[in-house]
Amino acid sequence: MSDAPRPADGEVTYGSYLALDQLLALQRPRSKPEHADELLFIVVHQASELWFKEILHELDGLIDAFERHEAEFALFRMGRINALMRIVSAQLSALETLPPQHFAEFRRHLGTSSGSQSVQFRAIEAASGLREPQFMEVVSEHGEIPPLVQRALSRPTLQELFLSLLASQQVDLESLFTGPRPTILFFLAEALLEYEQQFGLWRFHHVQLVERVLGPLTGGTGGTLGAKYLARTIDQKFFPALWAVRAKFYGKPG
């Protein structure tokens, strides 16, 4: 028998605080016999959803800071969000170790499931600024728009909130790049563009991963268009006004 002390009833332990018994029981491979690589596939996607939950939480804090016109706290939130995006993108590399022949052996057990059905990811896109007809078609293709996505769509985009912050301080967008020295609003604009860049890198990484595992012409899981569709999303922009003013400024002759 173990000599380790048992926690007193009601005592908070590492396992109970993190609900590890429940958390570690949520990985349920469907292949039979269980394929050795299916657990990896599940863990990466479940971990992504946990990070999406945290990103949405941070986006709520960012939106609150914008609405209060608190540039410093908005910049703090953006720093954390960008760190989270780097984590989400980097963990995809684990799936690069999944040979296509191995994925093919358990892929049929995924049924109609597809990453395109991630409500949290769609909510992040909506909160960030996507409103294009193609995006609206995607979020409604499985029926009524999920409440989490609808909540994000009902709020101003990040670009609208940033422009409102600039207006509250009587600063126009182009002057961010023409002042004698960078201001906190300039660094906030740069953080927003870094967020878009990190998002684009995640999309590109995802496209490359799908092509590597499924092939460039093969449909995705759940009957989606796979890499062909994902490749079209890389050029989507959350902050077109910010990109436009940078192009205008740096496009001027010397």
pLDDT tens readout for residues 208-232: 888 888 766 454 454 444 455 555 6
Tally Cβ neighbours within 10 Å of residue 129.
22
pLDDT of residue 247: 80
Q: How far apart, in whole angstroms, are the C-alpha atoms of residue 74 and residue 185?
A: 10
Handedness of CA 166, 168, 172, 175 (dihedral sign): negative
89-139 tens-digit pLDDT: 999 999 999 999 999 999 989 988 877 789 999 999 999 999 988 889 888
Give the confidence band of 143 by pLDDT, cuts at 50, 70, 90: confident
Handedness of CA 153, 154, 160, 166 (dihedral sign): negative
CB 29 within 8 A of CB 38: yes
Tally Cβ neighbours within 10 Å of residue 195.
22
Domains present along the chain, CATH in parentheses: 34-115+157-246 (1.20.58.480)
Give the confidence band of 159 by pLDDT, cuts at 50, 70, 90: very high
Burial of residue 148 (CB within 10 Å: 0-12, 13-18, 19+) is middle
Of 38-47, 63-72, 106-115, 121-130, minimum mean pLDDT range: 106-115
Residue 160 reports pLDDT greater than 70 = yes
CB 140 within 8 A of CB 149: no
Q: How far apart, in whole angstroms, are the C-alpha atoms of residue 121 and residue 52?
A: 7
Q: How far apart, in whole angstroms, are the C-alpha atoms of residue 57 and residue 116?
A: 21
DSSP reduced 3-state for 178: coil
Structure-token pair, residue 224: 């989606």
Of 83-87, 183-187, 206-210, minimum mean pLDDT range: 206-210
